[in-house]
């Protein structure tokens, strides 16, 4: 087992302690494990991560000077050609 030391706002720490007392008989380890597992199991977290990746990509594109509609169309067309080629190669192997 690994010991974890985290710094949190005093109010949040008190709220966590209260939940731990009420729902986990004061077992902070069990309360924390439950909290982390509930976060990891949520599809919303995946959506949040996807949004963060999307925002990062947008920022990188903007920082590099942007991209035109024509370039986007060319990238999409290239992607679709590659997918069709991959699909045809897979079918010919069977």
Kindly report, residue by residue over 34-54, the tens digit of the pLDDT.
Answer: 888 887 777 777 777 888 888
pLDDT beyond 70 at 94: no
Pinpoint the alpha helices (H) of the chain. Answer: 10-24, 28-40, 43-63, 69-93
60 in any annotated domain? yes
Per-residue tokens: 10:
């005093």
Report the predicted TM-score, pTM, of the whole model to 2 decimal places. Answer: 0.44
pLDDT beyond 80 at 31: yes
DSSP character at residue 49: H
- 61 with 50, same domain? yes
5 in any annotated domain? no
Distances (CA, A) of 76 to 1, 54, 71: 48, 17, 9
70 in any annotated domain? yes
2 in any annotated domain? no
4 in any annotated domain? no
- 48 with 37, same domain? no
Counted domains in the chain: 2
Coil/strand/helix, residue 24: helix
1 in any annotated domain? no
Cβ(31)–Cβ(24) below 8 Å: yes
- What is the extent of the structural domain holding 28? 10-41
Q: How many CB atoms lie within 10 A of CB 93?
A: 6
- 37 with 70, same domain? no
- 36 with 49, same domain? no
DSSP character at residue 67: -
């Amino acid at each position: 087992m690994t010991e974890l030391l985290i710094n949190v706002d005093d109010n949040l720490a008190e709220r966590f302690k209260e939940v731990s007392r009420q729902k986990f008989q004061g077992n902070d380890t069990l309360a924390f494990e439950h909290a982390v597992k509930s976060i990891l199991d949520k599809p919303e977290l995946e959506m949040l991560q996807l949004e963060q990746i999307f925002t990062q990509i947008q920022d990188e594109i903007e920082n590099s000077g942007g991209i035109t509609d024509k370039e986007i169309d060319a990238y999409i067309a290239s992607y679709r050609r590659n997918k069709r080629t991959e699909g045809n190669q897979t079918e010919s192997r069977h």
